[in-house]
A and B are shown apart, each in its own frame.
Chain A
Amino acid sequence: MKTHRNHANYWAFVLHRVSGLALLLFLPAHFYVLALAVEEAATLDMFLSWTEAPVVKLLETGLVILLAAHMTGGLRILAIEFLAWRDWQKSVVAITGGLSLAAGLIFLLNAG
Chain B
Amino acid sequence: MSNDTLTVEIWRGREEGEFQTFQVPRMASQTVLDIVTYVQRNLDPGLSYRFACRVGVCGSCAMTVNGKPRWTCRTHVDKVAGDGTLRIQPLKNLPVIRDLAVDMTEFFQKWTRAQAHFVPTATRGDDFAQVSPDDPRRKEASAGIECINCGVCYSACDTVAWLGDYLGPAALNRAWTLVNDERDGGQAARLKAIAGAGGCQSCHSHQSCFELCPKHLNPTAAIAGLKRATVKAALKGEI
Contacts and interface: CB of A to CB of B under 8 A. Distances in A.
B71 to A, nearest CB: 14
A89 B67 CA distance: 23
A4 B69 CA distance: 7
A2 B211 CA distance: 14
Interface in A1-25: 1-5, 7, 9-10, 13
Contacts, number: 47
B6 to A, nearest CB: 17
Contacts of A77: 205
A31 B211 CA distance: 41
Prevailing SS type, chain B contact patch = helix
Interface stretch (B24-32, B95-103, B123-131, B221-229): B221-229
A32 interface: no
Contacts of B208: 4-5, 7, 9-10
Given A9-B206, A81-B228, A85-B224, A1 B66 contact: yes
A71 B33 CA distance: 45
Contacts of A89: 207
B181 interface: no
Interface residues of B, number: 20
Interface of B: 66-69, 155-156, 158, 204-208, 211-212, 218, 220-221, 224, 227-228
A80 interface: yes
A4 B67 contact: yes
Contact of B158 (A2, A5, A81, A85): A5
Given A5-B208, A7-B208, 17 more contacts: A1-B66, A1-B67, A2-B68, A3-B67, A4-B69, A4-B155, A4-B156, A4-B208, A9-B206, A9-B207, A9-B208, A13-B206, A80-B205, A80-B220, A80-B221, A85-B224, A89-B207
14 contacts: A3-B68, A4-B67, A4-B69, A4-B156, A4-B211, A5-B208, A7-B207, A9-B211, A10-B207, A77-B205, A80-B205, A80-B220, A81-B227, A81-B228
A85 B221 contact: yes
A9 B205 contact: yes
